[in-house]
Structures are given as C-alpha cells and as structure tokens.
Structure 1
Amino acid sequence: MRTHGTLWFYPPVSVKARQTGVRYEVNNVQAAAENLLEWPKRGPHWNKAVQACLAALAGELSPDDVRTAFEAAARKEGLLLD
C-alpha cells in the first residue's frame, strides 16, 4: 500500500549540512530521504535509513521508525546535532 502526503515525525532530527554552520531540521520521511541522498558516506547505517524511508513511503513502516533509523545513521556518520 503506497501512502500519499507528507509522513511527519516528531521531534525533528537536527543534522549538519555541507555548508559550515548550516543545520537541517528533518521532520518527515521525505525530507529524511532527500537528506540521505546528500550524504558523502554511505555505510550500513545509511543503507538501513534509506530502506526505512522506502518502506515508510510504501506504507510498510511508521514515520517514527524512520526517525529512529535516520537519527542512528546521522549519529554514526557524525552529522547529528543536539
């Protein structure tokens, strides 16, 4: 089952951007997927987060599960901000 509309999660995940001093507040599945595509490193945690995004967009996983996977990947890659 494919979902339509924005799949929100809360609280947002704050991550570093490529530009120094810039941060992104990621608060939905679509933004998480777009942000992941910008990452220079793509390891196992990145892959798990991408798969979570795809599953949520297909209606198979909750946005909160995506948030958890995205936050873990950002932490692993040193991109997570407090």
Structure 2
Amino acid sequence: MPLHWFNPPVTVSTGKPGVRYGCNNVEGAARELMEWNNHGLMWNHAVRACMSCLAGEMTPEDVRKAFIAAAEEEGKLLSDDH
C-alpha cells in the first residue's frame, strides 16, 4: 500500500530529548500520535482523521491540518527554524 503523502512536512518534538520528527505522510502521523502520552481532543481528532484518510474518506491535507492542531495542543509543534 502506498503512503499518503502531504507537504510541507510537520516538524514535532519526540519523546527523546533533542530528537525531532519531520512528518510528511499519514502513516507517519498515525505512528507518531500513538507515541504521545496525552490524548486530548485534538489528538483524538487527528487519530480519527488518519483512519478516515486510510479509508478514503479524507485527504492527506486534512490529516496534516489535524496533526498540526494535535501537536499544538500537546506542545510538540516545532517551527522549521528550531
């Protein structure tokens, strides 16, 4: 199954100190979300968006937006200049 790509990548901090992740596809976003400890409202929306995209009901860009919102809620969103 091909990956569901989006662009530009979304850069987030990971659970490992100093390690960042530039996510550019739905499958990567889903994997990263599963690593997070807190599961807030935006996290829930992002996970559902990933599943919906994989089912052909949403676009990768929809997932990108939901992933950004979840990363902001979690305090994990990084700008490209970090």
Q: Give TM class, smaller chain.
A: over 0.9
Does residue 29 of the first structure (1) align with residue 50 of the second (2)?
Answer: no
Q: Any stretches of 5+ residues in structure 2 without a counterpart? A: none
Deviation per CA, 1:26-79: give whole Å up to 9, x if none.
Answer: 000000000000001001100000000000000000000000000010011100
Q: Any stretches of 5+ residues in structure 1 without a counterpart? A: none
Give the TM-score normalised by structure 1: 0.94
Aligned residues: 79
Question: What residue is the counterpart of 1:45 in the other structure?
Answer: 42
The code of the aligned residue for 1:64 comes to: E
Report the CA distance between 1:7 and its aligned residue. Answer: 0.2
Percent identity of the aligned residues?
Answer: 53
CA distance in 2, matches of 1:60, 1:17: 28
Give the TM-score normalised by structure 2: 0.94
CA distance in 1, matches of 2:43, 2:55: 19
Tell me how large the CA RMSD over aligned residues is. Answer: 0.6
Q: Which runs of 4+ in 1 moved over 4 A?
A: none
- Partners of 2:13 and 2:77 within 8 A in 1: yes
Counterparts of residues 2-81 of structure 1 (less than 5 Å): 4-81=1-78
